[in-house]
Amino acid sequence: MTQRSAREIRRFGAGVMAGFGALVVSVMAIGFGIAHFAPERMPAPAVSRVVHLDEKLRFIRERPDLDPVLLAVGSSVTWRQIDGEPIEPVAGGPGRFFNGGTGLLQIHQTRATMAFYLDHFPNVRSLLVMVSLPDFGDCTTMPAYLFEMEDASRYAFQDWPAPYFYLRYVSPQRYLRTVLELPKKRTPYRGELFHDAYGSSPLQVPEDLQRGLRYGQLPTDDACVAELEGLLADAVARDVEPMLVFAPVHPDYRVEYPREMAWLDKVAAYAKGLVERDGRGIVIDLTDDHPFTDDDFFDAFHLQWSAVRQLAVTIAGAIPTMPPATPETTPAPRAISDAG
């Protein structure tokens, strides 16, 4: 290779790097601008490992007056299967019920997320946890905490500027792709990132988009049972009354996968024994004994919105009525900026 060829190669490489750097800077500048001037067009910053959880943190950030007395936590069976309308009066009125559930959580991750919420919502007195078989797959190898606690607190509760988090947790490809998809994903009762006024994300899946049970044989991890016991104990230690609901399961899944369902039935029986022993909490097992038909489900473990409303009435009827909010018990609203 001649000296001239080497210089040309170096210049070409430097040009490529400069062009790539300019592209990255341009993408970041576009993202920064959208985050600052049109935050509703951007996905939530990638503070956590799960898009659904990021959007839940933004939900909290945008509602500084949120002061739940009744808190729901859990994975998608909690997130998608609670209608807040019949539950809100039991909780004491507007702003007193919050569905903090989100997608793709295992039991130990629900436990960690619950602790985060309870650290920031001091007036919670009752806890609603809905669980099903997919929540018990792996509590051994998967990390319990899906976000850095301090940054999640700064974003959701302390009103730090949103662009700071977009820059710190840079994910240009995800942000730009989601900018185009976000309106569709927020379509009420259709989009996977839709949130109603309570933080729930119920779905009504059209028949042409349904894919049968969608779930087959699932792994189970006994460590998740220990984590569930720890979750109940953590709630009681904070003087929070737990209500544990084993969500309805599609009748066909029970028939096709009896071993998995027998395991879940044992977990429900064990949980009932725990609350009876300790005298704190309620367990409702609806895995088999429920009024829902095949048409009420859009997969093995999730009910259609039309059935969720009926389920919520059942749950609300088992929750002790709480006193309405008073000025003495309602904290001052958190500050909120225009940064999104």
Dump pLDDT digits (tens) for 112-128: 999 999 999 999 999 99
Q: Is residue 159 situated within a structural domain?
A: no
pLDDT of residue 325: 65
Q: Are 241 and 235 contacting, i.e. CB atoms less than 8 angstroms apart?
A: yes
In-domain check, residue 108:
yes
pLDDT at 321: 78
Question: Environment class of residue 16 by beta-carbon count within 10 Å: exposed (0-12), middle (13-18) or buried (19+)?
Answer: exposed
User: Does some domain include residue 340?
Assistant: no
The pLDDT of residue 39 is above 60 = no
Residue listed under structure tokens 């988009």: 209
Mean pLDDT of 27-54: 69
* Across 165-172, average pLDDT: 86
**Residue 214 within any structural domain of the chain:** yes
Given a contact cutoff of 8 angstroms between Cβ atoms, the answer to whether 80 and 200 are in contact is: yes
% of the chain surpassing 90 pLDDT: 73
User: What angle, 0 to 180 degrees and rounded to 10, lies between the N-to-C axes of helices 172-185 and 3-37?
Assistant: 30
Is 160 part of a structural domain of the chain? no
Q: Is residue 249 in a domain?
A: yes
Q: What is the CA radius of gyration of the chain?
A: 23
> Does residue 311 form part of some domain?
yes
Average pLDDT (238-247) is: 97
DSSP 8-state symbol, 334? P
Answer whether residue 22 is part of any domain: no
Note down the domain range covering 90: 64-147+188-318
Alpha helices in the chain (DSSP H): 3-37, 51-61, 76-79, 84-91, 107-120, 149-156, 162-168, 172-185, 222-237, 251-256, 258-278, 305-318
Calculate the CA 83 to chain-centre distance: 15
Which region among 66-75, 173-182, 251-260, 321-330 has the lowest average model confidence (pLDDT)? 321-330
Residue 9: pLDDT band (50, 70, 90) is low
Q: What is the pTM of this model?
A: 0.85
Report how many domains make up the chain: 1
Here the CATH number for the domain that contains residue 89 is: 3.40.50.1110
